[in-house]
Amino acid sequence: MSLVAPALPQAEKRPAPPASLRLRSAHKFGGSSLADAARFRNVATLLADAGGPGVVVVSAMQGITDALTALANAALADEAWLPDFQALRDRHLATAQSLDPAGVLGQCLAVELDTLHALLQAPSPEPHWHATVQGLGEVLSSHLLHAVLGAEPAGWARLDARDVLVVHAGELGMAVDWDRSQARLARWRAAHPQENVVITGFIARDGEDRIATLGRNGSDYSAAIFAVLFGAGELTIWTDVDGVLSADPRLVPDAVCLASMSYAEACELAYFGAKVLHPQTMAPAMQAGLPILIRNTLNPAAPGTRIARESAPAASPVKGLSLVHAMAVLELSGAGLIGVPGTAERLFAALREARVSVTMITQGSSEHTICCLVRGEEAEAARVAVAQAFAEAIADGQVEGVTVDRDVAVLAAVGDGMVGTHGVAARLFHGLAQARVNIRAIAQGASERNISVVVDAQDAVRGLRAAHAAFWLSPQTLSVGLIGPGKVGRALLGQLAQLQPRYSNGGGLDLRLRAIANSRQMHLAERALDPAGALDGLDAGQTLDLTRFAQHVRAEHLPHALIVDCSGSDEVAAHYPQWLAAGIHVVTPNKHAGSGPLERYRAIRAATRHGGHFRYEATVGAGLPVIQTLRCQLDTGDELTHVDGVLSGTLAWLFNRFDGSQPFSQLVREASERGYTEPDPRDDLSGIDVARKLVILAREAGRELAMEDVEIESLVPPALRTVSREQFLARLDELDAPLQARLSAAQAQGRSLRYLAQLDAQGRARVGLVSPEPGHASLHGALTDNLIQFRTRRYADNPLVVQGPGAGPEVTAAGVFGDVLAIAQALGARL
């Protein structure tokens, strides 16, 4: 079953207006465009620029219709209304005084306001009394604008719609008596030959000549009616937005203004709460083929949105998305429903009797359940009505009962381009799945112009933003948190600052840095941090709380969350499973996750099944595609047999240089000065870092290897392993003799030394000094190059080699950035 917009009012076929009545254009100005004297003057300027002849339909000044309704209700309830009336009177007279200091306009308004005062003194429960009070706002506005435009001397007539427009109440709202209205307009026009006309919106008379209103959005409806009656070529509705937007800008800040829409698209979006015309407003325009333009009085340079029979082709099949909040799912279930004719009829008849409107209907082919969507405030009445209708079947156990699930919302994707286009639903569902938004129910009509899904209210905004990005209507947005602004973290911030404009402007990607943390403090930003200055806020930040940090990054109003961990901390890595399980993507060069306890490693892998992406390419080869290369072989059916290579850029540099011409300690000092080593060189010389990388590769290949399984040769003598960093550096010369002896032994065989990581076919793992055979690839590495040889079933004789710079914050940060972009692409970003 389908969720569709309500049927449009069926107006009778109307005669074309006589040539003497036809005008070139029609305009309508809403209350926000007529809020004060300055806005009235602005409207006069806009109309002068537009040229004539034309008709102008006006609403009441901003907030006045609500004020009049409150006055009427207060008068009927015999409550105090005089102070509010006086405020309304003063506002109009002050506006009139500003527009016409001579006071003539004020006298005219005073007469209308005296009429309002008299009406409030003699309240009546009759609908026409209420309509008379409510409609006076438009009457007052029409006098004000008529005067600003110069009135009759400037060629402007003022038409009180109650003198012309005749309507009657129908099932779907007020409908126009076109023949009587056309005849009355012809008589009025004969007495008012001015080229231009200011008309009151919202008000009319019924078939018995009593004052009536057209209901909420009645001024827009009036504008369409009079545009047709006068034979205008187009209708421009002036409001306070640049046009119809692809989504609510309060929920999707990147919503775009649509250049054009079809009537059908506009009707669908309007029904789902988008700030666009009410379907009833478009009914006269649709039947007359009258184009409607939506434009902004405060930004007249914007072209606005044109609504016509057909819209211009668009890059995306979906033109816009909208949400309906505060809904409830009503479900009737039971085995007794299967194959029983008339079940749906009984259900909807009960809802009709309870005057409950059904927004959406779904039923599986099994017929075991039937559910519909109703407004939240009507949910209880709906439940009671349906329970009574099926009371006997429930008592007999044939029907399980009626349940109501509140706090849901409807997300609708609308567009003419969806018709006949493959994969639209798939793209919508994929976008929602990536944002971890569960779909409760689905409906699509045979027209294919609308797909509607029911989601939990708490997921609605995130789902809307994810869907908006999935159809490339806005950049794919990732809420990003960075932990560990050390050398690599700072380099990453620099790369992000440099490249962010490129991706946000042309790449469809918004990497929104919203949090940063070091080992002690964190800075959480509500909107976005400038990567170039992100570190400045840490000094005045809050105490680090990793749980709060993750909760902030996982903002409910943003579709995707990503934490980049450049810390090298085992404590931070321990949080990965819960982050991934919560749908937070993780990118890291931190080796503790991949080489830490097997239990935790398995938990991380299991957590990725919940939708969180885990990328860690930089843990092994900095910016080199080591893991990617290995995965490509394994995923295509190859089998890893051996790994060996240089997995430390620091140790690569040291042993590429160590030929006996310089003491090893001198090379270590030089490497430290160049920034190749960790602050404490023992972190490199111990072999622990290399062992971690080997464990990561082994686990990638399916070997359940742990750090304690790796034979590690440390280059740090036992006597120097526990002393302070300063003492170690002072006694660095103690490394020279044993390493010189190892080198001399290797050179005696015509070989050199290299620090290699090795994994054999039996799963034995070792890292340490070796003297490779001549021709080994590690002997031909350049300075800080990492070099990894993979021997597999396919690459048995001639190993697959990955080689390149393996040290330095810039290349490591580039590897991290590459993982971030890979996740963004997986989420649908176009790069």
Comparing CA positions, the residue from 733, 747, 736 lying closest to residue 659 is 747
Which among 223, 249, 259, 242 has a CA at the least distance from the CA of 296? 242
Helix (H, G, I), strand (E, B) or coil at 513: strand
Give the span between the Cα atoms of 460 and 440, in whole angstroms.
Answer: 12
Rg of the Cα trace of the chain?
Answer: 37
Cα separation of 753 and 747, whole Å? 9
**Is 693 marked active-site?**
yes
Say how far apart CA 138 and CA 644 lie, in whole Å: 84
Q: How far apart are CA 740 and CA 743, in angstroms?
A: 5
Output the 3-class SS for 248-297: CCCCCCCCCECCEEEHHHHHHHHHCCCCCCCHHHHHHHHHHCCCEEEEEC
Buried b (16+ CB within 10 A) or exposed e, 702-738: eeebebeebebeebbeeebeeeeeeebbeebeebbee
> What is the Cα–Cα distance from 21 to 792, expressed in whole angstroms?
86
CB atoms closer than 10 angstroms to residue 321 = 29
Cβ 685 vs Cβ 714: under 8 Å: yes
Question: Residue 396: exposed, middle, or buried by beta-carbon count in 10 A (0-12, 13-18, 19+)?
Answer: exposed
Report which of 230, 231, 239, 234 is spatially closest to residue 198, judged by C-alpha positions. 230
- Enter the tokens of residue 761: 């076919």
Q: Are 215 and 276 in contact (CB under 8 A)?
A: no
As a whole number of Å, the end-to-end CA separation of the chain is: 38
Beta strands in 735-784 (DSSP E): 754-759, 765-770
Catalytic residue among 28, 319, 591, 693: 693
Peptide bond between residue 53 and the one before it cis (omega within 30 degrees of 0): yes
Q: Which of 411, 404, 399, 347 is nearest to 368 (CA)?
A: 399
Q: Where do the H-state alpha helices sit in 376-529? A: 379-389, 391-395, 424-434, 460-470, 487-506
Known catalytic residues are: 693
